[in-house]
Structure 1
């Protein structure tokens, strides 16, 4: 394995008034001799939205490295109405390195909000909630619903299990009746304003970060 470092990022370039162009340009020669690196990216530059650690790496190499350190929580989201928030949930699950993402209901979902982060996650489809429940039971994983429902417990004061599935409903209706019957627990997010609920993507981010705050290893300022 090569000990060479990747090239420093070039000065940011601005494109058509839309702000700075991310990433780095072509890697200076000689190129690192390591199978993780993609010759096309080395030759033409890497403009993907990935952290510097993964510059010029192939997608497969990035996924393999992420697999060595994924967290113990899964994220499941109900997809009965082609909810555009699902992409945002997937993007956040990638940021917090969820073990897997589970889409319950329709297989197709709006990927725009995911900003291609689904390429680096393991996405599993379940045709219905019963299928998700059976899978979770086989894996000995409790399903924790996140919704502002009567009888729910405050997320802020609840000790989330290290191994679990965080289940989110759609924007508006929230968790379906079937999902509510199958969850082990429902946690609500404390709100103090006039609105009854918050955006589903935002709620998912809050819940995932709550798990991170309880169980993730934070090794230094700004760097997990």
Structure 2
């Protein structure tokens, strides 16, 4: 196989259109652990769902999205049950490195609507912030079984 053919194969395996194709685990270049290599995206998502924990993550996406894709990727690494994007719908999916394909992502137009959902589902909401007087070390926090971590926007703090 020449270099161009190899390059095209890599692009195809990590593309948005992978769908239910049957893959060869030895040439699968997606960002997955070995046991999921070669499986279609939907099967990867289903297998991850069997092992998911109840933790959810929310990203307040108002001003900038410098780290939103990275937070989505980290949420996938921790196999959280859901990621909420609060505010404008677009975020840097490139930073997620296609891991957003394996997660349930819910979009909320406002913090008020997101919080109404959290209250209705009796979830503990924990804001992750170190820039306020009330902030406490995360290591001292005793989490309830159904918690949602909220990461804020990297806006202008002037």
For 2:21 and 2:36, locate their aligned partners in 1 and report how far apart those are by CA, in whole Å: 11
Contact 2:87 2:110 in 1 (8 A): yes
Picking from 145, 154, 160, the partner of 2:143 is 160
Q: Deviations over 1:140-168 (max 9, x none)?
A: 10111111211222212111222111001
TM-score under structure 1 length normalisation: 0.58
Give 1:112 shift. Answer: 1.3
Higher gyration radius (CA): 1
For 1:117 and 1:109, locate their aligned partners in 2 and report how far apart those are by CA, in whole Å: 13
The unaligned stretches of length 5 or more in structure 1 are: 1-14, 16-21, 23-36, 175-224
Give 1:170 shift. Answer: 1.4
CA RMSD between the two structures: 2.1
Matches within 5 A, 1:167-182: 167-172=150-155
TM-score under structure 2 length normalisation: 0.81
2:111 is equivalent to residue 132 of structure 1: no
For 1:74 and 1:137, locate their aligned partners in 2 and report how far apart those are by CA, in whole Å: 14
- SS for the counterpart of 2:74 is helix
The unaligned stretches of length 5 or more in structure 2 are: 4-9, 11-19
- Structure number with higher relative contact order (C-alpha < 8 Å, ≥ 6 residues apart): 2
Provide runs of 4+ in structure 1 moved above 4 Å.
none
How many residues are matched? 139
